[in-house]
Amino acid sequence: MKITFLGGGNMANALIGGLLKTGFAAADIAVIEPNAAGRIKLEQAYGVRCYAASEAAALACDAVLLAVKPQQMREACAPLRPYLQQQLIVSIAAGLRLADLQRWLGGHNKLVRSMPNTPALIGAGVTGLYALPEVSSAERASAERILQAVGSTLWINDEAQMDAITAVSGSGPAYAFLFIEALQQAAVELGFTPEQARQLSIETALGAAKLAAQSDEPASVLRERVTSKGGTTEAALRTMAERGVKEGLVAGILAADARGRELGELLGRDD
């Protein structure tokens, strides 16, 4: 499978690195990147072919990864149109709906929308995927293969849920970082050095996530097992409940979902 990336930013770099590690040949990967310094960096780091703009050689591929910022997508899509035939188009741009991309790409219907998250930068991401009905099962498998180079994938059947994917897993690392940040702050206030606080906080979060991943039981049961009646954990959780920590997190995620729908409307405008 020959793959061309439109844009050579951080997520494109992560995907290219992941693809090469999973057996893709550098000769089968191309990048359209207007920035000269960016092209040099990509060529030196990965040995891939780089182009300053869309051209026939750059788009002689099986799949195109749209990896530019959402605000730049409409302008970036226009030069692709003369070279599109049956290529699979996969967007990793947050918020952009496939109907808008399809319009900007001249009616091209081999479209997949995806939402990776930042742990993809270290190969530990999770990506939500949605495809138009015209995308075949083989093409869906190709999209999945590309995104699985940086982590796990999850297909959904309703594009409206992509905003929820963004709210839960796309923005999710920020929620986890906030928890680690709070844990570190409390540890420092309890007398640990910043270095000690960092180790305790990150290793605790990492270990708890691994335990949850390896267990068949819900997180609520795992939490209850740590919480002895009248103990320290119960005291902490009671105070957090009084401060509305869990409710605040849920409300925040729902707000992110609502904002995602708003941004989809804004980003999809042609004016």
Backbone angles phi, psi at 189, to 5 degrees: -65, -20
Q: What proportion of the chain, given as a percentage, has pLDDT over 90?
A: 96
Instruction: Write the pLDDT tens digit of every residue in 163-206.
Output: 999 999 999 999 999 999 999 999 999 999 999 999 999 999 99
Helix residue ranges, H only, 148-214? 162-165, 172-189, 194-214
| Cα–Cα nearest to 127, from 15, 251, 249 | 15
Q: What is the pLDDT of residue 269?
A: 84
Output the CA–CA distances (angstroms, integers) from residue 258 to 94, 164, 221, 241, in the order listed.
14, 9, 30, 25
Q: Average pLDDT, stretch 80-98? A: 95
Q: What is the pLDDT of residue 270?
A: 81
Q: What is the pLDDT of residue 104?
A: 96
- For the domain made up of 3-162, the CATH class stated in words is alpha beta
Instruction: Write the pLDDT tens digit of every residue in 100-150.
Output: 999 999 999 999 999 999 999 999 999 999 999 999 999 999 999 999 999
User: Do 3-162 and 172-261 agree at the fold level?
Assistant: no
| Residue 236 pLDDT exceeds 90 | yes
Q: Average pLDDT, stretch 157-163? A: 94
Q: What is the pLDDT of residue 154?
A: 98
| Residue 271 pLDDT exceeds 80 | no
* CATH number given to 172-261: 1.10.3730.10
29's enclosing H/E stretch is strand 29-32
| Residue 19 pLDDT exceeds 90 | yes
Q: What is the pTM of this model?
A: 0.91
| Residue 267 pLDDT exceeds 90 | no
Query: What are the sequence ranges of the domains in the chain?
Result: 3-162, 172-261
